[in-house]
Amino acid sequence: MNRLYSFFFLLSILTIALFTACQNEAVLNEDKMKFVAGQFENTLAVSIDPESIPRTISDDGTLKTTGIYGWTSGFFAGSLWYMYELTGQEKWKKEAKKWTEALEPVQHYNRHHDVGFIMSCSYGNGLRLTDEKEYEKVLVQTARSLSTRFNPATGSIKSWNYKKSWDGETEWFYPVIIDNMMNLELMFEASRISGDPTFREIAVRHARTTMKNHYRKDFSCYHVVNYDTINGRVLDQATNQGLADLSSWARGQAWGLYGFTICYRYTQNDEFLKFAENIADYILSHPNLPEDKVPYWDFNAGDPDMVPQWDASASEFSMDQRDASAAAIICSALFELSTYSSVKGKNYAEAASKILESLASPAYMKIPGNNRYFIIDHCVGSIPHGVEIDVPLVYADYYFLEAVKRKRDLLGKGDI
């Protein structure tokens, strides 16, 4: 009996190992991994100033960059940290440290909310993968800077400074965008590091305010909510980058899913888990989600009842434009959510695997092509603004690599 048990135990181990190998090959086989590494090597060959940070490409294929205070500035360093984690090669660690530490001045910046994006992806991953104690100080100081944008009356962190909506008349006194959910990881982490509960309290308050005012009954969300700064009353619910005020901008749905998953990670509060599951179910069951699960730039794209908030006739775009950046964010979030959801976890992991398979296919990962610097193509920055339409974007690469890492971790644990 012991021999029979040992035989079946060994057989199960071999089966898991074979499944793991096959699944990893489906995502990044040797040729694809060489392509990924080559893209980063190409970028580093032309990017010698770590304060001029890769973001996308121009029409002619040349690299376009941003400064350290641009909202995408932390993703390149974060991608390098993931390259180090996935390969174990010290050269990626060396580059990741250089591009991370160039962002050090951002810890004192409070003129927009995106410092959470910038520093969590760079310093946050660096802290996770090294023992750089100075990184802890930088993250806590960044959280202090971000905290200055919190208003107890609104119960939320202000996203932008004074702006106007599409009609040029509606004033946004205290605009909060769904993207802001992604900055809460910084606040939770700063509380963990420092022991100061204030950062965590702000994060929880912001999340609950977002649940109340950003989301509709079907768990689609508004992009922008404008508040009265005195009494916290909602003045306006609108879009800035989506099709229409009542539409469901794809990357906004992705940010929300990821953000509420983060909230559950740090609080273990079931209200956040359930909310994340509801957002995931909205995305995955949406009738306009393509078979490959890479969404159109807006879930309501092509809906005749949705009137664009801008002069669409003057824009050069297609309603069926995909946004692979939204897919990458959703994919990574679903892998994490699958580890928390006892009932739906398997379905979320399977959906994430399908998205990852799609993104790693020639449809989105072109080998070779006009793009010499990034991994994932067919992304969207902002169609209403006519900016970054059908191009590679640095944050798509970041969340793609994070998703690859998360799937690897799941397979290593035998969970899927």
Q: What are phi and psi of 154, to 5 degrees?
A: -90, -20
Query: Closest by alpha carbon to 411, among 353, 348, 344, 331?
Result: 353
356, 283 in Cβ contact below 8 A? Answer: no
Alpha-helical runs (H) found in 306-393: 324-338, 345-359
State the Cα–Cα distance between residues 274 and 261, nearest whole angstrom.
9
Catalytic residue among 31, 49, 60, 114: 114
Catalytic residue among 31, 59, 60, 179: 179
Assess whether 409 carries a catalytic annotation.
no
Tokens of 63: 């690299």
Phi-psi region of 232 (alpha: psi -120 to 50; beta: other; left: phi over 0): left
Q: 60-71: buried (b, 16+ CB within 10 Å) or exposed (e) per residue?
A: eeebebbebbeb
Assess whether 114 carries a catalytic annotation.
yes
Query: Closest by alpha carbon to 72, among 16, 121, 20?
Result: 121
Query: Closest by alpha carbon to 117, among 391, 395, 405?
Result: 395
Give the active site residues: 114, 179
